[in-house]
């Protein structure tokens, strides 16, 4: 398997989306780098924090791969489990055998 390439993105999801995004933008004063109706990205310096609207979960780190399905198959064989999957994005949240939840997403040519 080709190496997973870590991205600078960390994703959290919350049902209190308006309050969370207002906190990060107004209280902490973080610059907004992306905004749409269900996701706002903030520049944190060493990483970017994305706050997504939806059922709450803890921070999710992201790794980029050329082929999400091939990487998912290899990671499942290594003991990971699927936490959530959305082929339309495409992305797949996995939990490793030690409890870390991470996302695998498609690496774009410029990354």
Res 2 pLDDT > 70: no
> Structural domain boundaries of the chain?
5-106
At 89, is the secondary structure helix, strand, or coil?
Answer: coil
Q: Residue length, the chain?
A: 111
Residue 82 has pLDDT above 70, yes or no: yes
Sign of the CA dihedral with 52 first, then 64, 31, and 49 last = positive
**More confident site: 111 or 43:** 43
* Rg value, the chain, Cα: 15
Domain 5-106 falls under CATH 3.40.50.1470: no
Verdict on whether the full-model pTM lies above 0.85: no
């Amino acid at each position: 398997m080709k190496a997973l390439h870590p991205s600078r993105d960390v994703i959290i999801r919350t049902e209190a989306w308006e309050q969370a995004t207002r906190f990060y933008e107004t209280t902490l004063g973080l610059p907004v780098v992306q905004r749409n109706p269900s996701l706002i990205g903030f520049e944190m310096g060493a990483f970017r924090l994305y706050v997504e609207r939806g059922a709450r979960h803890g921070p999710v780190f992201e790794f980029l791969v050329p082929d999400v399905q091939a990487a998912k198959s290899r990671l499942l064989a290594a003991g990971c489990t699927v936490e959530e999957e959305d082929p339309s994005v495409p992305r797949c949240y996995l939990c490793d055998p030690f409890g870390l939840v991470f996302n695998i997403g498609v690496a774009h040519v410029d990354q």
